[in-house]
Structure 1
């Protein structure tokens, strides 16, 4: 497999019911993971060009689901299934990060 141009990390961390901190897993991250993989197939992105991986907790739990795109180090917050197409069409296809999903507030 060639080295991927992009690596999309999707936080899928889950916490037990009643935990005081939210989790990306309970906010629909599993569906995001499937949506990214399906979106890449629908766009006929060559295998190996983009790698999608599930991860544990990435940190900004209150802003989840969190998605990170490397090598750009772009962090997306509150990502929904509807946002997946925008990330693939704008960031992955055109190299233009999606500003509306990339708030600096998560790091303050």
Structure 2
């Protein structure tokens, strides 16, 4: 793609686009799924809290499998492409405040490509 073609890209619809995994696998699947870890309720919480915070140019969507099932529930925020594991509503609140309001990162919840399920959650 030429630089000229890139410069004609349309402006993004949103400042940030959050994809929350709500994928459901069959019961007992070895990798688990975000739906069985309250992914849908956490997504709903994130949507309502984002509205309360007045985040008007942020879109929060459901996503099918993001392929990090064992680390879930997971979400990814674009355009940065930052991934988080957010097992609680408090974690969602921290990501909203720190990442989407303040522009920072929540290091303790960020996922890296090498990450595996933490020992304390491997039960």
Q: CA deviation at 1:103?
A: 3.6
1:58 corresponding residue in structure 2: 66
SS at match of 1:106: coil
Q: CA deviation at 1:20?
A: 2.2
1:70 corresponding residue in structure 2: 78
1:99 corresponding residue in structure 2: 107
Taking structure 2 as the reference length, the TM-score comes to: 0.78
Q: CA deviation at 1:78?
A: 4.2
Aligned mate of 1:90, from 95, 98, 105:
98
Tell me, which stretches of 5 or more residues in structure 1 are unaligned? none
The structure that is helix-richer by fraction is 1
Taking structure 1 as the reference length, the TM-score comes to: 0.88
Note if 1:37 corresponds to 2:47. Answer: yes
Q: Which protein has greater RCO, CA pairs closer than 8 Å, 6+ apart? A: 1
Q: CA deviation at 1:15?
A: 1.0
CA distance in 2, matches of 1:93, 1:78: 17
Tell me, which stretches of 5 or more residues in structure 2 are unaligned? 1-11, 117-123
RMSD: 1.6
CA distance in 1, matches of 2:96, 2:28: 34
Structure 1 runs (4+) deviating above 6 angstroms are none
